[in-house]
Amino acid sequence: MKQKLFPRKIFLLVIAITLILLLGCSKKIESSTTQPKTDTPQTQTVKNTKTNQEPGQTVFKLPSKQDFDNCEGKLCTIAIVIKQENYDDLKPEISTWIQDIERETGKRVELKIYNNNVKKETIKSDLRTLYYNNNLRGAILVGDVPIARSGVRCSIYPNQLNPCLDYVEQLDQDLQKQGKYINDPFVTDNLNINDYYYTDIDNQCKYKQDLDAFYQDTCLQDSRELPFWISRLTPPRRNIEESNQLLKNYLIRNHKFRTGQISFQEKFLAYLPILEDRSQEEKTKTISDFLDWYKTSSNPPYPIQNIKILTSESSDNEYFSELGLRYEHVFYNGHGSANFHQKNVDSQTIINKVPKSFFYEFGSCSVGRYNEEGYLGGEYLFNSDALISLAAQSPVFTAPQPSFHLQLLLTQGTSIGEASKIINIGANRILGDGTLKLRYKKIVSQNRPKIVLDKYELDFGELDFKTIGKKFSFKIRNIGNAPLVIYNDKGNPPKLDLKNVPPENLPSIAGLFSETIIPLNEEVEYTIDIIIGGWSAQNPKPYTGKYSGSLYLLSNDPDNYVLIIPFKGEIIE
């Protein structure tokens, strides 16, 4: 009997153990199904503590990973354009540079090497092919890549500094009779230069063949609207041996910076000799306005103690002495030309002083005119420790301070090329390597805000052109464990794309945003006014059609510091 009972006990024990395991497994399965691990956006219902909403009334979704370059899951391309005469002396440095870019960006680098007599039309055609076939997101022009010239139609825009392409004596006389002014006859050498020619891949710009120049007022001049960003690495020397040595030195510094062998102070310097002729009251107000962003923002790109301002009372020697302190960002605002800075800075000054700072933003006429020997933008870039600059290639009227929102993007780890697709850089152009970032380290903190929206696309539907304004809204919630800051972007209006409609008839968007702090587990509703431009009793029937664009929502969420929100609509009669 005992021999028969023993197996039965074992059998019952096995059954008991099996039941326990099954119950345990069922709990694990239940637990895993309530919070699945997935990379796709998850829906999360939260309570609005401001409006006392109950859970379930507003559904917020976590944002998917944003791609500023619109790669959309495809392999993106960065083009490096260079002539054979440069490439032959720079092969090792170019190879290292390509490896650095591909490692950091995850994008493929297409190296385009051309004969020394290449025409700009050939390069433009190749960039067009790369854009449509290889998802081109940016292009870097290295060395003496052919330039494109531009001017404006003074018959339409008579009162401005840019050279005219359509100057005729009769037009000048007619305008003078009306009390208007037109530029003197142009000299071809003095026409503007403009690399945006290479981004006009579908040849939308009007071209004047006899002058080999295009009308820049017929082209896209907003860096956010271009199909891809473009930057230029052109040394300030025409001699090929000197030029190649400067390029070699630059690429070596570029690699050292990317690999942490050289670094800069996370500080901001501004030099403002432009104020020299202003009254003391104007100077005081300008400085006050300059610092206002940094003082009032809850999370500025540079804390106030890391900002140094040199006014018109300061000297050039003080300016260069500060540049030796390895500032991360330097803003210069003063009169100038290709080879001269107010107060008294020229090419030789920069060569002798050897500045040590990293990124220069110039509010000065023509310092980026890279077709001139010794142009200042190039001297800063190749005869100092600098690696990036923003500089104009033509006469400009500039703001007295840099873009606060551009600084936000750059100090949070966006490359200068990507940033120019989010924030319009105006008349400036990128000199240097457009793939570079100011900062590479990621600040990791357990206390982090987390942004979620209830809408990631906005459809404004049909609007009658007589509509004064129509309001739309979306909600933002903070589900993190630190305050969420939404930054005002009034200086960077939403991108709009409405075919065949003059700018004065475009719809405009108002109401975005004042800087807002959203506490933990609270939400804010933003209201947008869509205003149809151009309608009045005198202009009863403006153009109609579909439009689309994007809002850029800037915040201090380290995982989503820029959210791109597409919108669309249609103006009807």
Q: How far apart, in Å, are the Cα atoms of 529 and each of 150, 472, 493, 548?
A: 37, 7, 13, 15
Distance CA 520, CA 215 (A): 52
The mean pLDDT value for 471-476 works out to 82
- pLDDT given for residue 488 in this prediction: 60
**Residue with the larger pLDDT of the pair 122 and 393:** 122
Is residue 555 pLDDT above 60, yes or no? yes
- pLDDT given for residue 471 in this prediction: 73
> Which of 1-10, 134-143, 144-153, 292-301 has the weakest average pLDDT?
1-10
Q: How far apart, in Å, are the Cα atoms of 388 and each of 39, 179, 263, 295, 299?
A: 35, 43, 14, 27, 24
Quick one: how far is CA 392 from the chain centroid? 16
The mean pLDDT value for 66-90 works out to 82
- 35: confidence class by pLDDT, cuts 50, 70, 90: very low
Is residue 500 pLDDT above 80, yes or no? no
Q: Residues 445-465: pLDDT tens digits?
A: 678 899 999 888 888 888 776
- pLDDT given for residue 98 in this prediction: 97
DSSP three-state, residue 292:
helix
- pLDDT given for residue 10 in this prediction: 40
DSSP 388-419: EEEEESS-----SS--HHHHHHHHTT--HHHH
- pLDDT given for residue 398 in this prediction: 61
The runs of H, that is alpha helices, within 297-400 are 316-323, 347-353, 376-382
Percent of the chain at pLDDT > 90 equals: 39
**Residue with the larger pLDDT of the pair 322 and 464:** 322
**Residue with the larger pLDDT of the pair 537 and 353:** 353
- pLDDT given for residue 31 in this prediction: 32
- pLDDT given for residue 250 in this prediction: 98
> Which of 36-45, 168-177, 260-269 has the weakest average pLDDT?
36-45
The pTM assigned to this predicted structure is 0.79
Mean pLDDT highest for which of 58-67, 173-182, 393-402?
A: 393-402
Is residue 496 pLDDT above 60, yes or no? no
What letter would DSSP give residue 163? P
